[in-house]
Structure 1
Amino acid sequence: MARRTAPLTATEIKAAKPKEKAYKLFDGGGLYLLIAKSGGKLWYLKYRFNGKEKKIALGAYPTVSLSDARKKREELKKMISDGIDPSEERKAQKEQIKIEEIKKTNTFYTISQKWLESYKDQVSENYHTRLGRALKNYVYPTIKEKPIDEVTRLEIIAILEELKAKGLHETARRTVTLLNKVFKYAVTHEYTPHNIIADIETKEVIGKKVKRHYPTLTKPKEIKGLLLAIDDYTGDYFTKMALKVLPYVFVRSYNIRHMEWQEIDFKAKEWQIPAEKMKTKEPFTLPLPHQVITLLEEVRENSLSSKYVFPSFRSDGKPLSDNTLISALRRMGYTKEDFVPHSFRAMFSTIAHEYANRKGGHDKSEKVIEACLAHKERNKIKEAYNRAEYKEPMRELMQWYADWLDEVKHG
């Protein structure tokens, strides 16, 4: 007959003193109190599971009282009878807590910022800044602090529908593209198991995409009016000079505003734009017609200490702001439906194509026109070859177009 263990009493536990070696006080059913050499008193439950003897800590006395320890013993014995190992269950719970803690740090904001940093070398500085601004303005207000693997499709759809309601259809589409990149990054690095953006039918949420064309001017009379309006502009000097140069070079707004003196080769009559400033992430050399060289020489004579050719009127250490050129065009009477800085590119493209291989025009191919616009060739080898092959044809086309603009303005 098995010996029966007499249950412990509160008095017995309080009276238990430390000895030279740790010892145990048994309460029965596998529950015992370990009296450590230091005087600490710790509860344990000894049990068998799948034929193996195990033990599990239940806490320290007096924080865990005798009655508390007995309750825990009964709860754990119930688990064992249900086929659950208390020790393994506790490990699983700790692991789940650890996972939850990691989740708290893997918020959409944290992961999207990691993606943004990793994407930095793949796009131009300007485009990279715009991506960060889009996240801040359109996405973070809704899901910034939420663990990325808990973001739902409905939350994403709500973001897109809000943009759609404001009439920002194109912004909504770009936001979908942006979110898709973030979630692909998150799946790749195992921050989330699934890319929920792939499950969203964009057309149903936002509507069918309507191809957007920048407004521009293509009739000589309209172009003449614009060029004369620029000449008559009475605002900031550097803003006016940037607008006088822009029709001849038709680069993106960012490039003209961030033009630096070190990029201009006056002798070779070239503008060497570094890769980090280009949308294509490739360095670009743009031949400059003599009209631009003349304008830049004038600006250089009136230049401040800034590295920028067209510094901000607020600080010569900074370039013109994104809104400066737009505001200048508005002051001239051109609304966003009439003309924007990007419209100079469409204007050149239209005129160059229209006047190709005709009397009073030029003999350059469409590929040379595209090369002047820095449109990227998908074939890398072909692209390098084209840059070398088109260098002189580009120079000739740029000069033809500059002369055509002057003829239109003074004609």
Structure 2
Amino acid sequence: MAQPTNKLTATAVRNAKPREKTYRLADGGGMYLEVSPSGGRYWRLKYRLHGKEKRLALGVFPEVSLAEAREARDSSRKLIAQGVDPVAARRAERRASEVSAANTLAAIAEEWLEEVHKNKVVPDHYRHDRRRLELHLLPVLGNRPLVEITAGELLDALRRIERQRKLETAKRVRTLASLVFRYAIATERADRDPAADLKGALRAPQIRHHAAITEPEEIAKLMRAVYAYSGEPATLAALKLSALVFVRPGELRKAEWADVDLDAGTWSFTASKNGPPLIVPLPSQAVEILTDLHDLTGHGRYVLPGARSAARPMSENAITAAMAGMGYKGRMTAHGFRAMARTVLEERLGYPPAIIEQQLAHVVKDANGRAYNRTAHLEQRKAMLQAWADYLDALREGAGNVVPIRGQA
């Protein structure tokens, strides 16, 4: 015969006073209220499973009411009827909750940033990517268990970025999210990458074409303006080197003397933390500029130090501001020197696109589809850069009709 249940009333529970010794008030079904001498009132469930008597804590009164304790008792008895120990079930639930808390998107993203990404990219790249996640993704989904995040939820977060007209940022954040999910898969904390499902779901960023001058007559005027610049010597050197070696503006700004070999006429650096080295052959004009500059900045780390602190590289706006001061705002940018060289080297000097792209540090593949090593075509690039520097000098000096030496494959 089943034991009667629900024998207690809310009033009896509220009026249960402490005694000299702990005592119990039974409600039935194995549940009782335990009252301690200190006045504490605790809900307990006594049950038998696999021939052993056990007890389960159901909560403390008044935080857990009589009705709530009965609900807990009934759900626990259903588990017992199925041969499941409610104590073990509670421990498993607690462990799952702890695992879930440890495996939120924010937790795994932090682990990926520190353990993986930080060791693969340069510090500035790392800081920018961390900031993108912290600004755009983690405030929305960071506290969610990573395995529960759906493609739809991720898309909603990315749409918020798009609504701010930050299309390139949205694209980058999707890529970063995918890297985090793939890391979770590799570490056996996820089964799939919902970010991969969003390929093609975002609006494509507009391609920005950097303002550039490509006509010889205009290049001649530009180079005369560059050489007539009367500002800071380091800025003048930066303008000249931008034209001569046409590396990315950020790479030039952060150039370090330790990477420059004036005797060999080379500048070697690594664009990414663990990436292949990039070797830039320096034409004689660039070596002369750097030799003169070494007297001014060679005591420090950076070839082009900042105006306010030699411990930091030249600011991003230094070259842009100089170009604007020379009257080239909207007509030419620091990045435009790359576009200028790319166009003129192929169309007027006749150099093969593969050699030019190699010098631009773009990924170039051979006939078998394999990427060239970044040190490839060094001698051809050296000859090309010297011919380019001589061509710029000839234009600047107004040497009539400049007849370029055609590039060789």
Q: Distance in 2 between matches of 1:126 and 1:11?
A: 66
1:382, distance to aligned residue in structure 2 (A): 7.1
Q: Distance in 1 between matches of 2:265 and 2:392?
A: 19
1:25, distance to aligned residue in structure 2 (A): 8.7
Q: 1:280 to 1:77 in 2, by over 3 A?
A: closer
Give the alignment of 1:341-380 within 5 angstroms: 341-357=334-350, 364-377=351-364
The percentage of counterpart residues that share the same residue type is 29
Give the alignment of 1:161-200 within 5 angstroms: 161-200=159-198
Aligned match of 1:242: 238
Q: Which runs of 5+ in 2 are unaligned?
A: 2-6, 399-409
Q: 1:223 to 1:146 in 2, by over 3 A?
A: farther
Q: Distance in 1 between matches of 2:71 and 2:241?
A: 86
1:272 and 1:286 in contact (8 A); partners too = yes
Aligned match of 1:383: 372
Could you tell me which amino acid in structure 2 is paired with residue 283 of structure 1? P
1:108 and 1:148 in contact (8 A); partners too = yes
Q: 1:14 aligns with which of 16, 19, 22?
A: 19
Q: TM-score, normalised by structure 2?
A: 0.76
Q: 1:265 aligns with which of 261, 265, 275?
A: 261
Could you tell me which amino acid in structure 1 is paired with residue 105 of structure 2? F
Q: Distance in 1 between matches of 2:353 and 2:149?
A: 46
1:258 and 1:310 in contact (8 A); partners too = yes
3-state SS of the aligned residue for 2:267? strand
1:56 and 1:86 in contact (8 A); partners too = no
Aligned match of 1:360: none
Q: 1:338 aligns with which of 331, 339, 347?
A: 331
Q: Distance in 2 between matches of 1:138 and 1:78?
A: 41
1:356 and 1:365 in contact (8 A); partners too = no
1:230 and 1:244 in contact (8 A); partners too = yes
Could you tell me which amino acid in structure 1 is paired with residue 229 of structure 2? Y
2:234 and 2:305 in contact (8 A); partners too = yes
Give the alignment of 1:389-404 within 5 angstroms: 390-404=377-391
3-state SS of the aligned residue for 1:383? coil
1:283, distance to aligned residue in structure 2 (A): 0.7
Could you tell me which amino acid in structure 1 is paired with residue 358 of structure 2? A
Q: Distance in 2 between matches of 1:308 and 1:263?
A: 10
Q: Deviations over 1:258-278 (max 9, x none)?
A: 1111211111111122x2x35
Could you tell me which amino acid in structure 1 is paired with residue 48 of structure 2? R
2:119 and 2:273 in contact (8 A); partners too = no
1:270 and 1:286 in contact (8 A); partners too = yes
Could you tell me which amino acid in structure 1 is paired with residue 338 of structure 2? R
Q: Deviations over 1:122-161 (max 9, x none)?
A: 3444433332333244334544455444545455334433
Q: TM-score, normalised by structure 1?
A: 0.75
The 10-residue stretch of structure 1 (289-298 or 25-34) with the greater mean CA deviation from structure 2: 25-34
3-state SS of the aligned residue for 1:398? helix
Count matched residues.
384
2:80 and 2:86 in contact (8 A); partners too = no
3-state SS of the aligned residue for 1:374? coil
Aligned match of 2:112: 115
Give the alignment of 1:11-410 within 5 angstroms: 14-16=19-21, 45-49=45-49, 52-58=51-57, 76=73, 79-80=76-77, 84=81, 88-117=85-114, 118-149=116-147, 151=149, 153-200=151-198, 202-203=200-201, 205-207=202-204, 211-273=207-269, 275=270, 277-278=271-272, 281-303=275-297, 305-335=299-329, 337-357=330-350, 364-377=351-364, 383-384=372-373, 387=375, 390-410=377-397
1:328, distance to aligned residue in structure 2 (A): 2.6
2:58 and 2:73 in contact (8 A); partners too = no
Could you tell me which amino acid in structure 1 is paired with residue 222 of structure 2? L
Q: Which runs of 5+ in 1 are unaligned?
A: 2-6, 18-23, 358-363
Q: Distance in 2 between matches of 1:243 and 1:297?
A: 16
Q: 1:129 to 1:56 in 2, by over 3 A?
A: same
1:286 and 1:372 in contact (8 A); partners too = yes
Q: Deviations over 1:181-227 (max 9, x none)?
A: 22222333344454222333634x425x6555433221112222322
Q: Deviations over 1:94-140 (max 9, x none)?
A: 43334334434444333223222302343444433332333244334
3-state SS of the aligned residue for 2:361? coil
Q: Distance in 1 between matches of 2:17 and 2:341?
A: 97
Could you tell me which amino acid in structure 2 is paired with residue 236 of structure 1? E
